[in-house]
Amino acid sequence: MPTYTPPLRDMHFVLHELLQVSDELRQLPKHADIDADTINAVLEEGGKFASEVLFPLNLSGDQQGCTLDKSTHAVTAPAGFKDAYAQYVAGGWPALSVDPAYGGQGLPLVLNQCFYEMLNSANQAWTMYPGLSHGALECLHAHGTEEQKRLYLPKLTSGEWTGTMCLTEPHCGTDLGLLRTKAEPRADGGFSITGQKIFISAGEHDLAANIVHLVLARLPDAPQGSKGISLFVVPKFLPQADGSVGARNGIFCGAIEHKMGIHGNATCQMNLDGAIGWLVGEPNRGLAAMFVMMNAARLGVGNQSLGLTEVAYQNAVAYAKERIQMRSLSGPKQPEKPADSILVHPDVRKMLLTARAYAEGGRALAIYVALLLDKELNSDDEDERRECADLVALLTPICKAFITDNGWIATSHCLQVFGGHGYIREWGMEQYVRDARINMIYEGTNTIQSLDLLGRKVLADNGKKFKKFGKLVAEFIEEEGVNEAMQEFVNPLADLGDKVQKLTTELGMKAFQNADEVGGAAVDYLRVCGHLVYGYFFARMAKIALQKQGSGDPFYTAKLHTARFYFTKLLPETAGLIRTARSGVSPLMAMDEALF
């Protein structure tokens, strides 16, 4: 059976030693009283909930899955999920980082980020039930009417109700401009909405008293394409003025998708048959309003793979230490045993260190972006808010795509460490691989993220946002350039920074001649940028580890070893990626369609 221990020591390192979050938050009036002790106490309790309540339900939830009663359209989650959700609500966890004006605790997003990493390690499928509620809440907070906020936000904050986003349809995929769901005006000011939505995570379940669906649909006079999409709030049960639930609305689950992974979460086909909804924001501006929720979801999906990477690594390490098989090539290392543990074999260590490095690099990035969001939302300095917003926009597609790509690599490696046992359900590893694979697809495929990064976030503003991150890298390199002990980290980071800058310029010139060049290079480009970001954080973490390795704490020795592994074994991947990005689009597009 798999096990899970919340990685509190590494979280503390990133929060307090790498990013100095207490000092950063102290500059924000809203969070000025948040100190390290408060952060650590919340995370300790959150870790207990994740490991003691959620984790024991992960394997059984995957095996049992969800059930749909077609006569009533009711979905029942796996055994134990509803009770775990009740404990989650009773503990006040849904309100952790929500506006106190609606019943929230007002704690920083960076704290919620760490909490959700642990939830995802413990049970990604369960975590998806409350996972989208924060995005729905923020979307209504930003674009809803005062009446909508009064009705929905307190319930979403408390966790009494959950939220979803109903975007795509069977014929759409990512191209939401093709959606056909209709919204007809009603005499009472609402709208009658009819259509079908698919792939709706937690679209129907028995955990909460109501489900608040945010639905994209077209008004009768809407223009074609994405410019004709409006956003509507469509509750499962119509809310009464006093906040209680009333009549059942005309939005039902028609089927549950039978998926490769995340079996414990109900991924639903949702049918709307004259469902009553209310416009959120301006007519035909629904996609822009929904992006509040979509961007939050993209960061959340990156966090899902971060959680899976961590728990897969923990279990693979434990197995490698106990499993004996063959002898070390350089001679027996455990002669008292009939064979050595597989941890003596270099390639087993490579697989484990790859997962460890991707977990630690992803954690540093995810927490950093959450801190940027706290500053963007709460700083008194308009320039700082704008600076943070630009960095968040730049790093969001990297969080989503790079962390999830790495999660797929890491969980696959960790399964490989188990050998044949990795394929056996009781060990839990094959579930992590299956669960990790969806994260590269939903909330915008990783190719979409790559196109967003190169096309919209880098080339569209002539590299303005990219240069802001580049400035951080350059400043660090300048500070540490004369530090002899840091050369093994600074030199490859500086070299990659220079190469990325040249590659960006080259791709921009090519794209000016042929826009398809962006599509030909984008996936490789994002991965190169991801390594630049991880390299920056690993260099900073290595600096701290070098300074503190004399303390006797083995944590710093391990951190330094992981950083060295990253720079020598993982960062060099960028050389091949840069070559393929430069090879252009011709090898991809030259072959006639008939030859495929």
Residue with tokens 């008004």, as numbered in its chain: 219
DSSP states of 372-398: HHHHHHH-S-HHHHHHHHHHHHHHHHH
Each residue of 154-181: pLDDT tens digit? 999 999 999 999 999 999 888 888 899 9
Residue with tokens 């630690």, as numbered in its chain: 360
271 has pLDDT over 80: yes
In the structure, what pLDDT confidence band is assigned to residue 395 with cuts at 50, 70 and 90?
very high
In the structure, what pLDDT confidence band is assigned to residue 217 with cuts at 50, 70 and 90?
very high
Options 3.40.50.10800, 2.120.10.30, 3.40.50.300, 2.40.110.20; CATH of 159-286: 2.40.110.20
pLDDT of residue 296: 86
pLDDT of residue 287: 87
Mean pLDDT of 491-508: 98
Q: How many CB atoms lie within 10 A of CB 149?
A: 18
Each residue of 472-499: pLDDT tens digit? 999 999 999 999 999 999 999 999 999 9
State the Cα torsion 69-71-73-74 to the nearest 10°. -50
Give the integer Cα–Cα distance in Å for 466 and 464: 6
From 138, 360, 376, 443, the catalytic residue: 443
* pLDDT mean across residues, the chain: 96
In the structure, what pLDDT confidence band is assigned to residue 562 with cuts at 50, 70 and 90?
very high
Q: Is 443 a catalytic residue?
A: yes
Helix (H, G, I), strand (E, B) or coil at 251: strand
Each residue of 301-342: pLDDT tens digit? 999 999 999 999 999 999 999 999 999 999 999 999 999 999
pLDDT of residue 289: 84
Residue with tokens 């009553």, as numbered in its chain: 276
In the structure, what pLDDT confidence band is assigned to residue 291 with cuts at 50, 70 and 90?
confident
215 has pLDDT over 90: yes
Rounded to 5°, the CA angle 74-75-81 comes to 135
What angle in degrees, to the nearest 10, is found between the helix axes of 516-548 and 346-378?
100
pLDDT of residue 174: 82
Q: Give yes or no for a contact between 241 and 150, defined as CB atoms under 8 angstroms apart.
A: no
Q: Where are the domains of the chain?
A: 8-68+75-136, 159-286, 458-591
- Report pTM: 0.97
Mean pLDDT of 354-364: 98
Each residue of 132-151: pLDDT tens digit? 898 899 999 999 999 999 99
pLDDT of residue 377: 93
Options 2.60.420.10, 3.40.50.1820, 3.40.50.150, 1.10.540.10; CATH of 8-68+75-136: 1.10.540.10
293 has pLDDT over 80: no
Helix (H, G, I), strand (E, B) or coil at 232: strand
In the structure, what pLDDT confidence band is assigned to residue 288 with cuts at 50, 70 and 90?
confident
Greatest Cα pair distance, the chain, in angstroms, is 84
Q: Which two tokens stand for residue 209?
A: 């008293």
Choose between 287 and 69: higher pLDDT: 69
Give the integer Cα–Cα distance in Å for 13 and 553: 12
Q: Give yes or no for a contact between 407 and 358, defined as CB atoms under 8 angstroms apart.
A: yes
Each residue of 63-98: pLDDT tens digit? 999 999 999 999 999 999 999 999 999 999 999 999
Give the DSSP letter of residue 77. P
Query: Which percentage of the chain shows pLDDT scores above 90?
Result: 94
Give the integer Cα–Cα distance in Å for 275 and 183: 9
Give the integer Cα–Cα distance in Å for 217 and 183: 6
* Least reliable range by pLDDT among 204-213, 283-292, 417-426, 443-452: 283-292
Give the helix ranges, DSSP H, for 52-211: 58-64, 81-90, 109-131, 133-143, 146-158
Q: Which two tokens stand for residue 534?
A: 């991880």
Helix (H, G, I), strand (E, B) or coil at 70: coil
